[in-house]
Structure 1
Amino acid sequence: MTSEDCDANAELRRRNAELESEIGKLRLENAQLRRPEASDHEVLPVAVATVVMVDLSRVDASIVSHVTSFLGTARELLNLALTCKSFGWHQPVSTLNWSLVEEVAWRTVCSRATGDEMGCLPQYVRGENYSRSVAVSGSYVMKSGAHYAEFLITGVPYIGIVRPMPGLDDRAYLGNFCFIGGDYSVFPDFLAQRSDEWGDSDVHACEYFCDDGHMGWTNWDVELNEGVDWDGIECCQSGDTVGMLLNLDEGTLTVYRNNRRLGDLKEGLSGPYC
């Protein structure tokens, strides 16, 4: 036997001893794992991740009001609106098409205003009884922004907007006149009240007829449109609530029935209305 053969045998014996040692360790570990009383402390802990899902569609104005009670400035309220669409985007169920943050801001102003401060604000007319054919005009002049009013319907009234005419003496007509239709001879008297504030829009009066849902508008000159079909045409019944939203920033007059949007009654509006 040569010296090389002796070296090879020695290497094989060494390698065999290492393998037997590894096998012994594996058998020992296997035996330990097979014993329940000994394996409890050998098992590694398992970390369970908890994911919390928040349905923001269930967040209403009352919850947002509580959150915003910790905010100190209007800028912080704006930042909340910019956080996500659920806070800052317009709500489809909102009659005024407000976002949650806008509604919270409105509630905050109303809750903090004193009785004297609220008394200084102009009052919107809320219609309640229309049992006869009577022309009723509110004295509050709307020149910019968005304005909303509701009317509880009884009978078949015409509801709409008209130019402010503070110098018009309605007593001269014995109360017998209409802003659209009726006695056309009074139209020149209406136009005589025109001011520069009326602007370029030739829509001086616009109305919604609750009986059949048609609309009408006029410029008290050559344009007189009565019984006009429009996209949201729908009649109303006694007991319904009709809402009107005049948005002078967008130049639209929108009609709602029982808090459901019917559509834009008229577009291209500008200047003051009441």
Structure 2
Amino acid sequence: MADDRSSKRPRTTSGASEKSTCDDARIVALESENHALRQQILRSDAENGRLRQQLQCQGDHEVLPVVTIRPTVDLSRLDTGLVTHIVSFLGTSFELHNLALTCKSFGWQQPATGLDLSLVEEVARQVVCSGRNDVDGARTLSPCVRGTTTWLSVLRESEHPLKFDTLLGCGIEHINERKTSVRTGDIVIDDIFTVGAEIVTAVASNYVMESGIHYAEFHIAAGDPFICIVRPMPNLDQSRYANDNFSFFAVSLCDDFLAERTVEWGTGNVHVCGYYCKNGQMSWTNWDGGEQFGVDWEGMEGCETGDTVGMLLNLDEGTLAVYSNNRRLGVMKDGLSGSYCWCTTSVGESALAIERCHPPLA
């Protein structure tokens, strides 16, 4: 019987050899993959280096042109009532005025839209007629229709009321219903201190200036009035002086004025200061012995009938400057502080109007 132990011998050598072959093949595959990754990294590094060199070379790269596209809006496609409603949320006449200057669709009359007025004028009309600004829209409608004024100007007036609401002395009256113009008697005199001449005063007491910058224009229609600033005296009895001459420069009335003093006057020493239209001289007083009358100042000029005198009160700097027909003459008085009102004092025949507006640019 043949010995068959050889057939029963374990085949360990062949199995180990096959496993070793598989491991070698896997190692070779991994090495090949790592080599490919290293090559890819090298190519990436080379590309990054090339890009860095391009960025470092000033002027070697091409600059792409910048194209600006201006968006346009066809306002004719929007409902007029909707646009009017949106514009009505603007707060002031100044904002409406700026809007009117932006394009014709807002500032010009557009019959095709069904509005008899421009969009801005229509919004101003609605605000005025609504009574939001305490303006009688029915009273101002007639002059607006006649073209003598605009709804925007009426709105502006309602926002910044400036009128001679206090008349002191005899022989003075308002020229218009808005109380922005006054006139005095027909007495003709040669000198402001002529005995027997009527001296009267009109005050814009509804507009008290306590801080900031304020500008008003006075349109001279006749005479040579004083244009002044004066302390507010809301409790001054107008009826007491209805039949007499009245001036804030009258020495006999100083005690009456000082009795009306309030904390708003502050500690300033100038209670009334005026510009004499005839020759441009300045006068001021504190109603207690401190005073100067007929003072010359740098830039001083008089004015004539038909001229417009501008007064710029700067309470931040404490100065009062004078303009003549939109031309700045100079600072007439400094050292001002506390609260003031605009006023005018006339001797004999005179007529003038007051208007609040923006100061001239020059």
Q: What is residue 156 of structure 1 aligned with on the other side?
A: 224
Number of positions where the alignment pairs a residue of Structure 1 with one of Structure 2 = 170
After superposition, what is the alpha-carbon deviation per residue over 1:162-184, rounded to whole angstroms, capped at 9, x for unaligned?
Answer: 0000111132123422111x3x1
After superposition, what is the alpha-carbon deviation per residue over 1:8-29, rounded to whole angstroms, capped at 9, x for unaligned?
Answer: xxxxxxxxxxxxxxxxxxxxxx
Higher strand share: 2
Aligned: 1:178 with 2:247: yes
Q: What is residue 207 of structure 1 aligned with on the other side?
A: 274
Pick the aligned partner of 1:245 from 278, 300, 312: 312
Q: Secondary structure at the match of 2:269?
A: coil
Q: Secondary structure at the match of 1:221?
A: coil
* 2:161 partner letter: Q
Q: Secondary structure at the match of 2:233?
A: coil
Structure with greater Cα Rg: 2
- In structure 2, how many angstroms separate the alpha carbons of the residues matched to 1:117 and 1:250? 34
* 1:93-172 matched pairs, under 5 angstroms: 107-108=97-98, 114-115=127-128, 116-118=131-133, 119=135, 121-125=159-163, 126-127=180-181, 129=183, 133-139=199-205, 140-153=207-220, 154-172=222-240
After superposition, what is the alpha-carbon deviation per residue over 1:203-260, rounded to whole angstroms, capped at 9, x for unaligned?
Answer: 1000000001101000000112110111121010100011111111221111110000
Q: Secondary structure at the match of 1:190?
A: helix
* 2:213 partner letter: A
- In structure 1, how many angstroms separate the alpha carbons of the residues matched to 2:200 and 2:235? 20
User: TM-score under structure 1 normalisation?
Assistant: 0.56
Once the two structures are TM-superposed, the CA of residue 121 in structure 1 deviates from its matched residue by 2.9
- In structure 2, how many angstroms separate the alpha carbons of the residues matched to 1:267 and 1:161? 13
- In structure 2, how many angstroms separate the alpha carbons of the residues matched to 1:136 and 1:160? 10
- In structure 2, how many angstroms separate the alpha carbons of the residues matched to 1:162 and 1:106? 33
After superposition, what is the alpha-carbon deviation per residue over 1:252-273, rounded to whole angstroms, capped at 9, x for unaligned?
Answer: 1111100000111111111110
Q: What is residue 217 of structure 1 aligned with on the other side?
A: 284
Contact 1:147-1:245 within 8 A present in 2 as well: yes
- In structure 1, how many angstroms separate the alpha carbons of the residues matched to 2:245 and 2:217? 25
Once the two structures are TM-superposed, the CA of residue 130 in structure 1 deviates from its matched residue by 5.5
* 1:224 partner letter: E
Pick the aligned partner of 2:337 from 248, 270, 273: 270
* 1:121 partner letter: E
Please list every run of 5 or more consecutive structure 2 residues that lacks an aligned counterpart in the other structure. 1-93, 101-119, 136-157, 164-179, 187-198, 342-362
Contact 1:127-1:151 within 8 A present in 2 as well: no
Please list every run of 5 or more consecutive structure 1 residues that lacks an aligned counterpart in the other structure. 1-103
Once the two structures are TM-superposed, the CA of residue 105 in structure 1 deviates from its matched residue by 5.6
CA 130–235 in structure 1, closer or farther in 2 if over 3 Å, else same: farther
CA 105–253 in structure 1, closer or farther in 2 if over 3 Å, else same: farther
Q: What is residue 169 of structure 2 aligned with on the other side?
A: none
Q: What is residue 294 of structure 2 aligned with on the other side?
A: 227
Once the two structures are TM-superposed, the CA of residue 127 in structure 1 deviates from its matched residue by 4.7
* 2:240 partner letter: A
User: TM-score under structure 2 normalisation?
Assistant: 0.43
* 1:11-26 matched pairs, under 5 angstroms: none
- In structure 2, how many angstroms separate the alpha carbons of the residues matched to 1:106 and 1:193? 40
- In structure 1, how many angstroms separate the alpha carbons of the residues matched to 2:286 and 2:304? 29
Q: What is residue 11 of structure 1 aligned with on the other side?
A: none
- In structure 2, how many angstroms separate the alpha carbons of the residues matched to 1:130 and 1:245? 25
- In structure 2, how many angstroms separate the alpha carbons of the residues matched to 1:226 and 1:219? 12
CA 117–254 in structure 1, closer or farther in 2 if over 3 Å, else same: farther
CA 124–265 in structure 1, closer or farther in 2 if over 3 Å, else same: same
- In structure 1, how many angstroms separate the alpha carbons of the residues matched to 2:271 and 2:99? 33
